[in-house]
Amino acid sequence: MNEKPLVLILCTGNSCRSHLAEGLLRQYAGDLLEVASAGSKPTGYVHPLAVQVMREAGVDISAHTSKHMNEFLNRQVETVITVCGNADAACPLFPSQVNHHHWPFDDPALATGTEAEKLALFRRVRDQIAAVFRAYANGRRDARSTTATVTK
């Protein structure tokens, strides 16, 4: 009965933002939540600069894979978080879904310019995602401790 609720993070391509969020939320609340990511039109790869900027933050997402959201239709998904507008519009309602949050972020995969300019955008988006998902994890942790206190 101690199964962790599944939080599914969706983005269109499942190559950048959703993997940044998955890695960070797993770091912040992996003890409380099962975390996965997927896309409505997955690219089939995780962007190398996403892997690089997460490594800089001490999070290894090099083993992540790009998946289609339909792979989760038969899973008990408690919360869906969309991190881009297209995924929010294409998001199915999962049968067990209780919560849906939409927190859009710029797409670093669209970055142009020098390697340094691209990395700067990836880092900015990573840091924005980190702030939002750290707050979300803290809220989930607070809610859990409040529920545990009330049920004692």
Q: Which two tokens stand for residue 67?
A: 């998946």
Which residue from 17, 32, 1, 3 is spatially nearest to 137, judged by alpha carbons? 32
At 8-40, the pLDDT tens digits run 999 999 999 999 999 999 999 999 999 999 998
> Is 1 a domain residue?
no
Number of compact structural domains in the chain:
1
> Is 138 a domain residue?
yes
Average confidence score pLDDT of the chain: 91
List, as one string, the DSSP characters of 86-97. Answer: HHHHHPPPPTT-
Range of the domain at 116: 6-151
At 75-91, the pLDDT tens digits run 999 999 999 876 666 66
Q: From residue 63, how far is each of 21, 76, 127 by CA, in Å?
A: 15, 23, 21
Distance CA 56, CA 46 (A): 16
Distance CA 139, CA 152 (A): 20
pLDDT of 90: 67
pLDDT of 1: 44
> Is 88 a domain residue?
yes
CATH classification at residue 69: 3.40.50.2300
- Catalytic annotation, residues: 11, 84, 91
> Is 64 a domain residue?
yes
Query: What is this structure's pTM?
Result: 0.90
Residue pointed to by tokens 């490594």: 55
